[in-house]
């Protein structure tokens, strides 16, 4: 799906929010500046969150509990060793209910649980960005189906 500008990216996040189950792990994949946090901001707005949404680059995780679903937004860009994931006790966030949105998941492997859904954003040569979703589990397939239906 082509997203022509920031507003389209926010809108895609809002549509995705309507498709989310109570528990899901999604890897947000894309270069710096590809729109991962913008998509997350739209998703949180779609869930009813009205507060500030910021990148968790320095905090590692930003929890959002004032929305329809508890959302944890992770960013492992600054990891120099995957063991930092365990040392920080972040594995506990991947138990139970909640939506976990993970940026730079590869930097926490092999300790990070597998994703249900991969959300890939790429800056487009035509301007804007391109969005691709790939389901990796049954929960991911249902979410992707619901997203595609709502996007029409």
Buried b (16+ CB within 10 A) or exposed e, 37-72: bbbbbbbbbbbebeeebebbeeebbbebeebebbbb
User: Where along the chain do its domains lie?
Assistant: 2-151
Is there a contact between 49 and 64 (Cβ–Cβ < 8 Å)? yes
pLDDT of residue 152: 81
What is the full per-residue pLDDT of the chain (152 aa) written as tens digits? 999 999 999 999 999 999 999 999 999 999 988 999 999 999 999 999 988 898 888 889 999 987 778 999 999 999 999 999 999 999 999 998 999 999 999 999 999 999 999 999 999 988 899 999 999 999 999 999 999 999 88
What is 15-33 written as a DSSP string? Answer: HHHHH--SEEEEEEE--TT
From CA 93, how far away is CA 131, in angstroms rounded?
26
- Topology (CATH) of 2-151: Rossmann fold (3.40.50)
pLDDT of residue 66: 74
**Omega prior to 110 cis, within 30 of 0:** yes
pLDDT of residue 54: 84
């Amino acid at each position: 799906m082509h997203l022509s500008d920031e507003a389209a990216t926010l809108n895609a996040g809002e549509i995705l929010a309507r498709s989310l189950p109570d528990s899901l792990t999604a890897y947000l994949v894309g270069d710096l500046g590809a729109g991962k946090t913008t998509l997350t901001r739209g998703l949180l707005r779609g869930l009813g969150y009205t507060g500030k949404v910021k990148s968790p680059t320095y905090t590692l995780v930003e929890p959002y509990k004032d929305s329809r679903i508890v959302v944890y937004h992770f960013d492992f860009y600054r990891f120099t060793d995957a063991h930092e994931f365990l040392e920080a006790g972040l594995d506990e966030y991947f138990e139970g209910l909640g939506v976990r949105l993970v940026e730079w998941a590869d930097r926490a492997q092999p300790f990070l649980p597998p994703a249900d859904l991969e959300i890939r954003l790429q800056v487009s040569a035509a301007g804007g960005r391109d969005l691709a979703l790939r389901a990796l589990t049954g929960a991911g397939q249902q979410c992707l189906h619901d997203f595609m239906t709502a996007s029409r």
